[in-house]
Structure 1
């Protein structure tokens, strides 16, 4: 390919897959040796290469290899790396001031981000927002707000859930390794309900919701329950899309019983699923929406947005943080949101979905190792199984991912059973580059 990506202030990046050294190359190997001497070993890496530049649909490493990016830094660079509006906004803000702490001397960009979130998140009710740094921090604050508002303590999360790595969010997260093992004890009053997983449980949304609600009523009790928190499409758990009707039934039950319904849209938010927020696919209106990842084009920012009466119930000073809503991140967020809207990146996500689903459906017709293809927008997963037993095949998944990495394509694995490859390309990826990336994945599967 000869297409180029030209981030403002930087050189054009040719939009091509290009392997010029062994993977990893010598400079990456040297940097990895330094990393192993300087960085805690618990901080792992998926790829054995070090990035030097990125843009459009490629990441270029320090050895000159150019990788097709089907991961977006785990759904963070939805607008593309170094997107022009984001670069311009960040450069202007850095020149003005880098930090004051919004709780000391506030600035208008924080307010404008809050206004945008209040406008864009589902529902026409009056809303408030608060800004933080990471998805886990936002989840923790959503739980704090729900407990403060309801005066209750219990929280229900779901099988296969991932909500973060802090103590409370580890308790909410379902998977032990690598997220929870050895790190307890965890926060109390956290309960787990069964998730709708159509490929594995075969239940309708109504039946799956009935099962979950029955467990909640019997084992927790609505009078003790502050909040239900759920990802509209589960991320780390395997891009599990609940059956139609599951989420609306939970929302209705929560509303009837005075329980705060929290939608964790950290991975699904900001055009990723073909709508601005995944909750829109089933027309649900959460009481609180948690956002992060794609919100600011790669800068650390997160938020909670919810009903005014819920967020305003917490005492002044109860929410905040030194870096929360940093002015540089806020400038990036405003530019990223403008890009999502003006460039119709939700439409781009739907086109990416059509390409991914069509290509893998054709492959599935002749390869029974592809057990399931699911997701929405540019958030698509392929679950690999043993064709004889339908049991998860984590070894095949790992082999395919390794082969893709060696061939110059960044792919990510996920799933409770480690048998899912997830596709999260930047919404700016050129069509031909996406098609080539899929070719590489299918070749890796054929050769595995």
Structure 2
């Protein structure tokens, strides 16, 4: 019986990165041995055990054989005669197929260290194509390590394209797709996740609403990048520099979905794309079972981003009504999230990356002023029923007007 540190912990240690989780593989053992040593079994599909002290996962070395469709269609064999190399060869990428023994020696049968040095994401074996989830995993790793210069190996991208065309991706559950997407939102470069999915053909299958944006033009004077899909990638990249909040990053990626349904005869203009986008955001979020908080912010940004861009031109009452629509009085955090996503939209254009976006501070100042209006004096003054709300809105609009007047003066 021998225990090896495997996967991400070995990879990130070699990259000089902080290791968050440690996974282990046990070679030469059977389940009863693990139980006798005080381990707790938790794996249902294959033998996985928790260490009695560290609670870190220890999996018995295993092999997998394709026996059905999708990423769950595998027959697992875990027994003492399974070797370390047999266990490692079933993994997705060479940089994830390394192990470290108790003496600190690295076992690297598939040249993962060489690929780390070359900044290359390369599949271990042809068995890669048996698991459709790996297309999304590679895209996520590409996003995670993009700033380190990593790229997908051409031969691996070819396999991913073949998998996208084969129809295997349809076997992925909404939960697994969202899990990978969500992880990409916390990476350094969420845009690379989308870009890699597009290059592999998976974006068309999994997120057709986003894929439809590519090839759709916009007015060059406002969008030097012209293509709506390229703009979306630029906004996704910019949002990651503007905010660590995955909800903001997600909303920024979906803000322009409506442009993908603009009739060609109307190109490059996109009148009422905000309204058309709402249906698409709902459709995508429902299909992939996106959490409500993510969906709700995405709907707000989709519907209101052009209003925020021209906020300084809006009447005080119009801006107050916008705060009403997004339920800002009960959920004030939405205002900052909205303007942050809109700032990413504005800066997510070629040559606009460092431009000022005074609309953000202006909207936040207006909201702070409007929020400070107290309803109690209105009630004390004798207003009743609907008149309370009307007077409250009037005073809030007055507060916004004061901010607007100050802005003009400045």
| TM-score, structure 2 as length reference | 0.22
Instruction: Judging by fraction of residues, say which structure has more helix.
Output: 2
Higher RCO (C-alpha 8 Å, min separation 6): 1
| TM-score, structure 1 as length reference | 0.21
Instruction: Judging by fraction of residues, say which structure has more strand.
Output: 1
**Which protein shows a greater Rg?**
2
